[in-house]
Structure 1
Amino acid sequence: MAAGRGHVTEGDSGEQMGSPKVIILLSVVIGVLFAAGGCTSPGVPGGGSPQTEQESSAAPGGLAPGGSVLPDTGLGRAEGVTLQASVDTSRVTVGDPITYILTLTRPAASEAIIPAPDSALGKFEVRKWEQLPEEVLADGRVTDGRECVLSCFEIGEQEIPPLEIGLISVAGETTALRTLPVPIVVQRISPADAEEIKDIKELIYPPRRFPLRQVLIGLLAVGLAAGAVLSFRRRGLFAPQEEGPAPPSLPPHEIAYHDLERIAGLDLVERGLYKAYYTEVSEVIRRYIGGRYGIATMELTTGELLASMRQIEVEREYIVLFGQFLARCDLVKFAKFLPPREEMKAEVHRARELVDATRVVEPGPEPEALEVASSSRSGEVQA
């Protein structure tokens, strides 16, 4: 019994010694399998990092490669009016052309005043300004358009400034509309083989020498010229000639007729000189009003001129006609309003009608005055 009990005790101790070996062996097998299958974690397939997957899903996908969002500005709709400005590209290099389109949708009964910019629009040089043909929409509204080609020579983020236009309603009320600024990125031209720009070298001036011979020749020429002038004066060659009697002055309407005929022969509208054309015509009418009513008109604004005519009690009908005519001229001269070409040509005829309606017919030899003036000029030419 003692021997048997001792055998059993030895076997129990052997099983207790074998348990750690089994645990170590299982741990080694699990480690090998884990290394061979790849280190994976729940929720992250293929061992990928959660941070990398988040960055990938956050990548923008709204624009195609190389695409650009074109600026599109507008004032919205108010009483059927829509003003919109756009460009063909928002990223250019220095000096590249930018096509700027201005579109105004308005009621057919209204009138738009879209001034043309000068040689520059902010930091952008205006290379072309063209009026697009009008279009009539299905709802009866009219679309006016302007196409402008711009260039910029300053690098960086620039803005095409807002453009302000006027809209005259059927009731005669004027409303100012303004576009939003359009951002443009101007990039520098930097080729791969470009070298650093070197400073400009200082100017080298030639030595100043005044040979004595040239100085003496110059003094001699000055002395001869002075002697010739004194000699001519003594002989009376430079004596002032007696002028004949001044020709009789013409009435204001005859002077206006002559000036309007001269302007019509200049073809300023055909040559595209619209501002000069309206300036000439308005000055003729202003001089006529000054001669006809005795008002110093050339230094007055249109409003001050009309107020002066009211003070001397000019007929209200004539004041309204002169005011409408001068207002149209001011729109072209100062607001750069461009009416149709046929209406421009008709301004000379309208000015003549104003003179015809308001002139004073005085009895007298008006044709003789013209003959005397022409004969006196011809006599001066013959002399």
Structure 2
Amino acid sequence: MKNPILYIVLIGSLLTSPLYMFGQVMARASVNRDQILIGEPIKLTFEVRIPMGQSLTWFNLDTIPHFEIIEAGKPDTNDNIDGKQYHQELTITSFDSGTMVIPPLVLKVEGKSYATDSIPIEVSYTRDDLSKDYRDIKDIIEVPKPAWMAWIPWIIGAFTVIAAGVIFYLLRKPKKPVAAPPPPQPKLSAYEEALQALEELRKQGLQNGEVKAYYSRLNDILRVFMFRKLKVATLEKTNEELISQLRQMPMEKESFNQLVRALQIADFVKFARYQPDATDNEKNFTVIQTAIKTLNNIS
């Protein structure tokens, strides 16, 4: 052995080289075609390998200059003895003609940046075959009309005749006579209205013992009758003023005194100074009824 140190160095290199390869970061980008027509899609593939347990920040693929991203697949991962491997495919195209370059794209592993190689793509228009003759512009081809369209004028004519007939019928149709409004019901006289109100009050009687309401209604019936029949302003007057007006009426003294007594009782009930019984209620009702009949015969 001429140089044992040299052999030791060579053996050490052979033993450590796999570990060195396994600890390397690999980032590569490739395309399936490097010549396309404008708008034609191509596949851009990313292959990345990093050591196990290291953090990765993926490529920023928001925009690629001169290229449009049509579809972006999700990165696939795979763990093996070489480390953690990533694989992703993008479908891209370009609408700019000429030599367009996919620039180096950068990812970061443990904060350190790694870039792929740039990839030139030749983007061109469709090539015309100049050996062929130009094609003339063709005339417009008339499409035959469906057979049913020949019936359209007849259908329109039939609808027109029918519509004219309906309009003529509606114009000549005799109009129904407007029903005359029902004749107004004859208004009750003051005397009839007063008797009807008294009869309704008799049927109702005392509602829940409301004596005040009963006498107030009895008093109002007399006032309304005198206002309508005798044209006496009674609605805004007190019972004392009403009695003063009744003194001028040609009534019998006994009938007048009974009416005065009934009006006074109505005032006593109104101010809660008197609580009449059933006999008083019936007597005062009869007095008011008799007074209305008497006053109705005056004129």
TM bucket normalised to smaller: 0.3 to 0.5
Larger Rg: 2
Q: Under a length normalisation based on structure 2, what TM-score does the superposition of the two structures give?
A: 0.35
Q: Under a length normalisation based on structure 1, what TM-score does the superposition of the two structures give?
A: 0.28
